[in-house]
Structure 1
Amino acid sequence: MLRKLLRFQFCSLQDQIKKQQNSYSNITDKIISYVGRDLHKIPSHPLGIIKNRIETFFQNEAITEKQSKYPLKYKIIDNLSPIVSVKQNFDSLLVPPDHPSRKKSDTYYINENALLRCHTSAHQVELIQNNVDAFVVVGDVYRRDEIDATHYPVFHQVEIVRIFQQDQFSSKYLQHQIQESMDDLKETLERLTKHLFGDVQMRWVETTFPFTNPSMELEIYFQDKWLEVLGCGVIHQDLMKNCQRLTEVGWAAGLGLERLALLLFQIPDIRLFWSQDARFLDQFRAGQINKFQPFSKYPSCYKDVSFYVDHRTWEENDLHSVIRDIGGDLIEKVECVDTFYNKKKDLTSKCYRIHYRSLERTLQNEEIDVLQFKIRDQIRDVLKLELR
């Protein structure tokens, strides 16, 4: 019965996207096929294991001394649709109209007004407006991105928000309240990080986000190097005004499940999370974190493709999208290996190397050639670029 319900929800979301699509859409059938898969809801999947650890922390261990003065249980939300409006994803979060993340080269648009969310922060304003003052939102998010071992067009994000009432602060002055909120944020997230990684060295790095001020990133020293694990900050006061919460202050944080799972399970390739291979899936048990044991790594093969671009309008993510749509998970990595400017043509020549490697079998040169020719055709016919 549960499987039938999940299958219905899976198809329903995909059908909604197809019904709303128009000529403005840049979402392919390949991307639509990921919608509704909900890997984070599978208890024995690495993403589900990390998600459940985070939820357990916020259900049982996250209350700080400041939060205890106005105790609230964090509400866990993992069933919000990834189909959101432009207003939800960008406008409500104070993302400037000219911000690069709004471009079609970065975001999957269903039509001019709707898209597949780029972050779970898309639900933040609505929840705060509805007086949900402590919540954890988990879900799949979508971004057009490069192709390599750590990037995928679909990944899973956790959004954490905590809003404080005036009587929880020791001062009536806004700047003091912002500092107290930041102190609480740091205490909470450092404890979460220890809950996940153990007693690791940590450091805070100042950064900038449109919807928080001040903003920080938390880095940990793990496997002999510093790694960024999450971004956070005090919620921007203009955003709180948009929520009609003029006198309140709070903090927000976001982190990616894939980033954490790659580190904690020592999984070398992000494509593996989508694998149906039993040699991968059978290694994991609900509630347990164990080192991934690689099975046979099949040989790789690479092919180069060269073409001219106008550097004033060139968007590399458009190329990655075309290659991913044709090659899917047979594409391991795409890298630019040569660039030069042709003064006579007033164009830039680019040579990209496409690395093919299946996670499950040895690829034949003939089938790679078929994919490579399809990619070349799409570069010429869809991207309208001159091949070399």
Structure 2
Amino acid sequence: MLKVARARPWRAACTQSLRTHKRHVHTPRTITVLGETYPTDDYTNLPPTIAALLERRLHVTPPHPLNTIRKLIASHFEGFKSYDNLPAVVTPELNFDSLGFPPDHPGRARGQSYYINRGVMLRTHTSAHEVDIYRETPRSGGWLCTADVYRRDEIDRSHYPAFHQTEGARLVNVADMDKLKAENEELRRGLSASRIIMEDCPDFDAITNPLQASHLPETVLPVAQNLRLRITTLFMSIFPPSTTPLHVRWTPDLFPWTSPSYQLEVRYRDGWLELLGCGIVLDDTIARSSHDPASERSWAFGMGLERIAMPLFGVPDIRLFWSRDERFWKQFRDGELRTFQEFSKYPPSERDVAFWLPVGVAKPHAASHAAGGEGVGWEENDLWDIIREVGGDLVEDVKLIDDFWHEAKGRRSLAVRITFRSMERSLERPEVNEVTDAIKAKLTERLAVEIR
């Protein structure tokens, strides 16, 4: 349900010689993930550092904050069946095709997702299991799925290549609309008696947020209203009581898998916090799951758990969720919302790394964004992965600080600023220099760059 990571603006096309070089120095013949051995091919891009995260299972490990958030959500949707242990290794068919992703969708690109090989990958969203779960769901049933998901992404205090989502859905029989309307009235009465300000939005708009072609307003509007009411009461129960009312607002949105679609934001600490996307599930998805779209409607939502847990627990850096430091773990109790107390604020250490891209890489304005290609092009996420692999969680942030084209050389140069900061100790200058040198060596070996 959540939006797929965007394509990056400074990727440029590269020569076949670079692609051959990268495969030659980087990809072994087989790769082992969670005890299973797979053959590799030209799509393989899963680093060992990411594969190791699959074993952590933070969302089902007490007293971790993500486990607490998962349980709070599950307790709100009483009667929904929970799926919390589904395997993260899936096929592109499950991750994309079963949901109707077009062949050229950017999320399919090797630069955006982690592939074990062309036929096997790490899920990028919990929706990879949506159709299979619907098949197990009875008429008028509901379900929740919480899992770790993986996307190649930039490096900063709020982005990590592994994070967690909860997705939920409810099937509604068209013949039961009167019951649903009565439930909605009960939910509205509960909200009217609560300390909450809810800015609602139109149920649908014929141009920007339309009903599906086969849907009638009388069979969709009660379902859409039930969705927004159930989600609003969820966050009313999750966010701690305050001297001021909880302020939420709904806005129309656009997602490939639902129509009409909505987004929820909560006013939190003087700003608007975007929490989730949701909507009425497409008939095609219902049909793929062996339900009858003519007699059943379904709402669904998807949310990132870290996005909720960071403000609720006061966790300032997403890397902390993956920490093994007892000073982090001992602060929490299973099922309780406790404010995180930073155990130390260690100073940052910055290093700049500048390099020439290989001969043949195009000028920045000639960048290619073709999705699902043959591993074509300069991928900025290859750069992030190498920095993560070598620097690990010592790397707090990476920023592009220079990108220029040298006409005389016919080459493109990039420079990044890497911020190192341990969450657990002070870093010594020689250690930072050693890690920086190792990053430069890996960039040279794998991406055929020339350090400046």
TM-score (structure 2 length as normaliser): 0.77
Indicate whether 1:146 and 2:154 are aligned.
Answer: yes
C-alpha deviation, 1:315, in angstroms: 2.5
> Structure 1: which 5+ residue stretches go unaligned?
1-11, 60-72
Residue 63 of structure 1 corresponds to none
**Contact 1:86–1:113 (CA<8 Å) still a contact in 2?**
yes
SS in structure 2 of the partner of residue 110 of structure 1: strand
User: Quick one: percent identity of the two aligned structures?
Assistant: 40
After superposition, the C-alpha distances for 1:142-163 in whole angstroms (9 at most, x for unaligned) are 1111111111111111010111
Render the CA deviation track for 1:31-80: whole Å, top value 9, x for unaligned: 11111211111221111111111111112xxxxxxxxxxxxx20011011
Describe the superposition over 1:312-368 as per-residue Cα deviations: whole angstroms up to 9, x where unpaired.
233222211110011110101001122223333444322110001111111121121
The CA distance in 2 between the partners of 1:273 and 1:164, in whole Å, is 36
- In the other structure, the counterpart of 2:406 is 342
Following the alignment from structure 2 to structure 1, what is the Cα–Cα distance between the partners of residues 450 and 326?
Answer: 43
Q: Aligned partners of 1:341 and 1:185: how far apart in 2?
A: 51
SS in 1 for 2:403: strand
SS at match of 1:338: strand
| 1:234 equivalent in alignment to 2:280 | yes
Instruction: Please state if 1:131 is matched with 2:137.
Output: yes
2: distance between equivalents of 1:187 and 1:348?
52
Tell me the secondary structure at the aligned position of residue 77 of structure 2.
helix
Query: 2:277 touches 2:302 (CA, 8 Å); kept in 1?
Result: yes
Alpha-carbon distance in structure 1 between the residues aligned to 2:356 and 2:105: 27
From 237, 258, 261, the equivalent of 1:212 is 258
Closer/same/farther in 2, CA of residues 214 and 384 from structure 1, 3 Å limit: farther
- Matched residues in 2 for 1:50 and 1:125: separation? 25
| Contact 2:47 2:385 (C-alpha < 8 Å) held by counterparts | no
Structure 2 SS opposite 1:155: strand
Distance 1:205 1:375 in 2: 43
Paired position in structure 2 for 1:302: 350
- 1:155–1:258 CA contact under 8 A, matched in 2: yes
Distance 2:247 2:98 in 1: 35
Q: Is the partner of 1:238 in helix, strand or coil?
A: helix
Of residues 88, 99, 103, the one that matches 1:82 is 88
Q: Does 1:25 align with 2:73?
A: no
121, 125, 131: which one aligns with 1:119 = 125
- Counterpart code for 1:288: E
Contact 2:277–2:301 under 8 Å retained in 1: yes
Name the counterpart of 1:9.
Answer: none
- For the pair 1:158 / 2:204, whether they are aligned, the reply is no
| Residues 260-296 of structure 1 deviation map (CA, whole Å, 9 limit, x = unaligned) | 1101011100111111111111111112112111111
Q: 1:331 aligns with which of 395, 398, 403?
A: 395
More moved, 125-134 vs 104-113: 125-134
- Counterpart among 35, 58, 64 of residue 15 in structure 1: 35
1:17-36 Cα offsets, whole Å, 9 max, x none, are xx024133211111111112
Higher normalized contact order (CA 8 Å, seq sep 6+, divided by chain length) = 2
Residue pair 1:120, 1:141 contacting (<8 A) in 2 also: yes
Alignment of structure 1 residues 93-104 onto 2, 5 Å: 93-104=99-110
Tell me, in whole angstroms, the C-alpha distance in 2 between the residues paired with 1:386 and 1:205.
Answer: 48
User: Secondary structure, in 3 states, of the residue corresponding to 2:251?
Assistant: strand
In the alignment, structure 1 residue 46 sits paired with structure 2 residue 65: yes
The size of the alignment, in residue pairs, is 362
In structure 2, list runs of 5 or more residues that go unmatched: 1-31, 182-213, 368-376
Aligned-residue Cα RMSD (Å) equals: 1.8
State the match for 1:181 in structure 2. 223
Return closer, same or farther for 1:308/1:204 CA change in 2, 3 Å cut-off: farther
Q: Say if 2:164 and 2:305, in contact at 8 Å, map to a contact too.
A: yes
The within-5 A match list for 1:275-294 is: 275-294=323-342
Equivalent residue letter for 2:174? Q
1:123-172 CA-to-partner distances (Å, cap 9, x unmatched) read 11111123343100111111111111111111111010111112122599
- What does 1:248-259 align with in structure 2 at a 5 Å threshold? 248-259=296-307
SS at match of 1:169: helix
Kept after mapping to 2: 8 A contact 1:43/1:52 = no
What's the counterpart of residue 191 of structure 1?
A: 233
Query: Counterpart of 2:203?
Result: none
Rounded to whole Å, the distance in 2 between the matches of 1:180 and 1:21 is 49
CA displacement at 1:241 relative to structure 2: 2.3
Higher alpha-carbon deviation: 122-131 or 257-266: 122-131
Q: 1:173 to 1:142 in 2, by over 3 A?
A: closer
Map residues 315-326 of structure 1 onto 2, 5 A cutoff: 315-326=379-390
Shift of 1:13: 5.9
- Matched to 2:59, the amino acid is H
Give the residue type in structure 2 aligned to 1:159. E
Instruction: Name the SS for the 2:104 alignment partner.
Output: coil
Distance in 2, Cα, partners of 1:342 & 1:242: 52
Residues in 2 aligned to 1:384 and 1:280: alpha-carbon distance in whole angstroms: 39
Bigger-Rg structure (1/2) = 2
Structure 2 counterparts to residues 53-68 of structure 1, below 5 A: 53-59=72-78
Distance in 1 (CA, whole Å) between partners of 2:409 and 2:69 is 52
Q: Which residue of the partner structure matches residue 424 of structure 2?
A: 360
- Aligned equivalents of 1:51, 1:332: Cα separation in 2: 26
Query: Which of 97, 107, 114 does residue 91 from structure 1 map onto?
Result: 97
Whole-angstrom distance in 2 between the partners of 1:200 and 1:343:
57
Distance 1:233 1:173, change over 3 A: closer
Output the amino acid matched with 2:67: G
Q: Which shifted more, 332-341 or 349-358?
A: 332-341
- Structure 1 length-normalised TM: 0.89
